[in-house]
Amino acid sequence: MGNDTVNAKDERPVVLVVEDEALTIMDLSDVLDAAGYEALQSASAERALGLLTARTDIVALITDVELSGKTDGFDLARAAAQMRPDLPIVVVSGRSKPDPDRMPDHARFVARPCRGDDILEVLGTLMTP
């Protein structure tokens, strides 16, 4: 990888990316990486909730709606918002429509097709106080 400066990783804000599509998660991770974030990847909502419980350094959540496992991205967003009410959450989907009843109040929906930069932009607006 060439950008391994000592301790640089530790100081970057961690964004949890939940997506079971390998290419999509790699792509988004690259965009986050380039923007100065550390992407923490999870393919399932169950694992993501475990990570949210275990790691206080996660500053935001980006999740796809369609995930493998029993829990979808809407359920994950709601559970995450209950655990961490101030956590910025971006829900992304190419198939589902935004469902206001299932979205936490402060979460934002991004429809696919979109670029990683689009998601990053929405994330930025959520993270600016």
Contact assessment for residue 77 and residue 61, using Cβ atoms and an 8 Å cutoff: yes
Percent of the chain with pLDDT over 70: 91
Supply the pLDDT for residue 10: 61
pLDDT value at residue 6: 45
**pLDDT tens, position by position, 43-84:** 999 999 999 999 999 999 999 999 988 899 999 999 999 999
Rounded CA separation 110/116 (Å): 11
- Place 98 in a pLDDT band, splitting at 50, 70 and 90: confident
For residue 88, give the nearest of 11, 8, 13 by alpha carbon. Answer: 13
Collect all residues with Cβ–Cβ distance below 8 Å to 43 and sequence separation of at least 6: 18, 19, 20, 25, 67, 68
